[in-house]
Structure 1
Amino acid sequence: MSKDPAPPALTDAVWPAVPSGGLVLVPVGSTEQHGPHLPLDTDTVVARAVARRTADALATGPYGPPLVAPAVAYGASGEHAGFPGTVSIGHEALRAVVVELTRSLALWAGRIVFVNGHGGNTATLDGALALLRSEGHDAAWTACEVPGGDAHAGRTETSLLLHLEPGRVHLDAAVAGDTRPLPVLLPELMARGVRAVSASGVLGDPAGATADEGRRALTALVSTTVRRVTAWAPDDRGRLTDR
């Protein structure tokens, strides 16, 4: 079983040991259905792993060893509301959480990065970080996106969870869902929700998923996140970009 490295966690710190002006990474995920084979916190697991490994890679950077904050485990998941277990706080509540977290962290942190594992949070983070940056906060966000990956609970996320937490993956229950590309699915998803498109909740096909593929995907996610944080080139929405 893969084990995360152990960079400094905010929850483990005592206040005299918290550096002033440091970098804080805040994982943002969701609690929502991920088909019949993946746990409800899949997005949070991935975001937390990316944040932890990014912090480990940046330990000798100009902001010193980054701190990893507790994950925001609830997001904007209204499109998954047709499935039991999904818990969504919606865009307004998530926006308020992100804004107030940043304002509080900024009292002692020098730089704040939200590491997002759920695509449904994108519009909220765009709006919140644009506001925060207009207030003068040195904050931004970045997405955990695997180029060419499928949309939801398919081969990509299944591989990632097989690498990170294999004991929580129920491959015997895995089924293929709607395999059309996300840009094609998105209008219907927005209008009718995931359940209307896929009875299983899967958008993609978990077949062929492996822990090794998940390891490679996670390595790529961390590499991208490290590069973006190091370059520090946020756009007008607060998204970290590749120079």
Structure 2
Amino acid sequence: MNLGTLRSPELSGRAPVLAVPLGATEQHGPHLPLDTDTTIATELSRQLAKRVPGIVVAPPIPYGSSGEHADFDGTLSIGQHALRTVLIELVRSADRFTGTVLVNGHGGNHHPLTDAVRQLRTEGRQVLAWSPTGPADDSHAGHTETSVMLHLRPHHVALDRAVPGATAPLPELINRLRTDGVKAISPNGILGDPTRATAAVGELAIERWTADLTHAVSTWLAHPPAG
């Protein structure tokens, strides 16, 4: 079910689980759209709702903590503090739902997301955060994300503009990335190599992430963590 298309009385007397796609609006190299992370998080939430009964998918949060991409045109960021506050207040407002799953599509959201979940659980709220995983040397607009977008929205991928970016593992880059931003590490904004991306690889990635998300949510529903 899609929350945005429902009418309020349709939820009366029901207590579904709310899945909130959490994305970003930020550069993804010269070949991918700015809403890549939001698109992926939304699709994974939609796939989750197909597999787990009682899931309602909320409209996505399309802005996140993207300050590391600020040197590129089109990037919009609300920062870590604001994102943490948004997530806390949003989940607090969802008390009529059985619980809330925050499906995160952007790595830069990790710290405020983790802090928000910690605070919400101390308040006794049932909330789960989940993020997809991938190779350490392919963390942004590289082979995996490009393949996924070729599978989901091929008409928005300019594959002829795809070129390799910085391909060192993210742990080797993370400190400078945090202090100097992505552009200091990769002038084209890519962390990885998208040049051999395919829709078939993207479909497999979506299937793998969906299976992992479904397992995480099913386990959480069966054994919700204590506050």
TM-score range, shorter chain: over 0.9
Identity of aligned residues (%): 46
Residue matched to 1:62: none
Inter-partner Cα distance in structure 2 for 1:33 and 1:192: 16
Residue matched to 1:172: 160
Inter-partner Cα distance in structure 1 for 2:46 and 2:7: 19
Deviation at 1:20, TM superposition (A): 2.8
- Residue from 25, 34, 39 that aligns with 2:28: 34
Residue matched to 2:5: 12
- Residue from 35, 39, 49 that aligns with 2:43: 49
Inter-partner Cα distance in structure 2 for 1:146 and 1:57: 22
Inter-partner Cα distance in structure 2 for 1:161 and 1:34: 11
Matches within 5 A, 1:102-141: 102-106=91-95, 108-141=96-129
- Residue from 180, 190, 196 that aligns with 1:202: 190
Inter-partner Cα distance in structure 1 for 2:3 and 2:133: 25
8 Å Cα contact 2:136-2:169 kept in structure 1: no
8 Å Cα contact 1:146-1:221 kept in structure 2: no
Deviation at 1:130, TM superposition (A): 0.3
Partner SS, residue 80 of structure 2: helix
**Counterparts in 2 of 1:177 and 1:99: CA distance versus 1, 3 Å:** same
Inter-partner Cα distance in structure 2 for 1:157 and 1:21: 34
Partner SS, residue 105 of structure 1: coil
Counterpart AA for 1:180? A
Counterpart AA for 1:56? K
Deviation at 1:208, TM superposition (A): 1.1
- Residue from 71, 75, 88 that aligns with 1:82: 71
Deviation at 1:235, TM superposition (A): 7.1
Deviation at 1:77, TM superposition (A): 0.3
Residue matched to 1:98: 87
Inter-partner Cα distance in structure 1 for 2:47 and 2:170: 28
Deviation at 1:85, TM superposition (A): 0.3
Partner SS, residue 67 of structure 1: strand
1:8-28 CA-to-partner distances (Å, cap 9, x unmatched) read: 100110111115321010000
Question: Runs of 5+ in structure 1 lacking a partner?
Answer: 1-7, 60-64, 239-243
Counterpart AA for 2:2? A
1:100-129 CA-to-partner distances (Å, cap 9, x unmatched) read: 1101111x1011000000000000011001
**Counterparts in 2 of 1:94 and 1:170: CA distance versus 1, 3 Å:** same
Partner SS, residue 210 of structure 2: helix
TM-score by length of 1: 0.89
1:196-243 CA-to-partner distances (Å, cap 9, x unmatched) read: 00110001100210000000000000000000001116779x9xxxxx
Structure 1 vs Structure 2 CA RMSD: 1.5
Counterpart AA for 2:204? R
Aligned residues: 224
Structure 1 or 2: more helix by fraction: 2
Is 1:184 aligned to 2:172, yes or no? Answer: yes
Counterpart AA for 2:212? T
Residue matched to 2:59: 70
